[in-house]
Amino acid sequence: MSSGSASSSSASSFGVYLHVPFCTRRCDYCAFATWDDRGHLLDEYVAGLVADLRRSDAPAATSVFLGGGTPSLLSPDQLAAVLSQVAIVPGAEVTIECNPDTLDEAKLAGYRAAGVNRVSLGVQSMVPHVLATLGRTHDPENVRRSAAAIEAVGFDSWNMDLIYGSVGESVDDWRTTLEGALALGPPHVSAYGLTVEAGTPLANDPARFPDDDDQADKYELAEALLTGAGLANYEVSNWARPGHECRHNRLYWSQGEYLGVGCAAHSHRAGRRFWNVRTPERWLSLVAAGESVEAAGEELDAEERVLEGLQLALRMREGVPADALDADELQGLVERRGDRLVLTLRGRLLANEVALRLRPPQPTVVD
């Protein structure tokens, strides 16, 4: 792993996202660009990531995130080969998403030696019948083994991803998941309401659609248990102990710049968003030919960018400038903190509806 000369505290933030599109089994709710029948391409894909990174002109990264898919299908040597091509500032956050079924202490030690300093563990539930409903293959014991391995290897910062709201999951089941997760001591927890994405097995089965009221009850329980355990909510779906907020995700939420590498990966540079071709085969063929892997892009105008910035900021603990919303109209949904408005707990449940009321500042008219 190469290092830039600037420190992470003084360098301008820049992220690198590395997409690994392979899974052993695709979850029923997943709409990401992932495949469970193309593992034979893994070695070629790793070589493609290395080649594409070598020709990139990205500045040194303050955060790197390996997502998917199941990045933990990579061996430590494969991961090291990829990360060796990323310029990374000292102290940068380097995260890899991991499936509990694919982890052991030796692999995690190899990842740490390669430069990873943060693990995001895809747990979703600690209740077997809920995992089965979601189409997950691991069991809670694998989660406990993985958490013990993460601690044994010495990762100071790590996350557990949880999902609530599947059909057949009672509030007590969700409590079991939260309490089981907290017992393992993660300094960061992401808890997402199950969403129905077009083209997924879940979308084709209306009987399995989540219930809004049920999800609201479970969100309130998550807030109570997670904050009670010392994890503060800093974005609608994310809680962390002080100093353990995900820097890479904060970069996204603050409209920072980042480079996405791999099939279907998205980038944001110089005010322009662009994304790569979706399938691994097409992406590999373009990399091999030395051609651009970009599929399409867009550039927001100044007003659109300001509005998007407010929409993202609204979801964060810091909130939005007080003049961006009518607080009187939104009583009980927002509260004033200094010169800003932040969502209340009830407001977080209705964040999308509140966002529709945002008022971007009007340009000053000079006579």
Which backbone phi and psi does 35 adopt, to 5 degrees? Answer: -140, 140
219 and 331 co-located in one domain: no
In a domain, 185, yes or no: yes
In a domain, 139, yes or no: yes
The residue that leads in pLDDT, 39 or 245, is 245
Report how far residue 342's alpha carbon sits from residue 261's, in angstroms, rounded to the nearest whole number: 34
Report how far residue 126's alpha carbon sits from residue 293's, in angstroms, rounded to the nearest whole number: 39
39 and 172 co-located in one domain: yes
Instruction: Write out pLDDT tens, residues 69-94.
Output: 899 999 999 999 999 999 999 999 99
Least confident of 33-37, 120-124, 206-210, 258-262: 33-37
Mean per-residue pLDDT of the chain: 91
- In this structure, how many other beta carbons lie within 10 angstroms of the beta carbon of residue 15? 25
In a domain, 197, yes or no: yes
Report how far residue 99's alpha carbon sits from residue 96's, in angstroms, rounded to the nearest whole number: 10
**Strand stretches in the chain, DSSP E:** 2-3, 14-20, 61-68, 87-98, 118-124, 157-164, 188-193, 232-235, 238-240, 257-261, 266-269, 272-276, 294-299, 320-321, 334-337, 340-343
pTM over 0.75: yes
Whether the predicted pLDDT of 6 surpasses 50: no
Whether the predicted pLDDT of 229 surpasses 90: yes
117 and 42 co-located in one domain: yes
Model confidence band, residue 360 (pLDDT cutoffs 50, 70, 90): confident
The residue that leads in pLDDT, 366 or 39, is 39
Instruction: Write out pLDDT tens, residues 248-273.
Output: 999 999 999 999 999 999 999 998 99
DSSP state of 209: -
Its domain, for residue 331, covers: 302-355
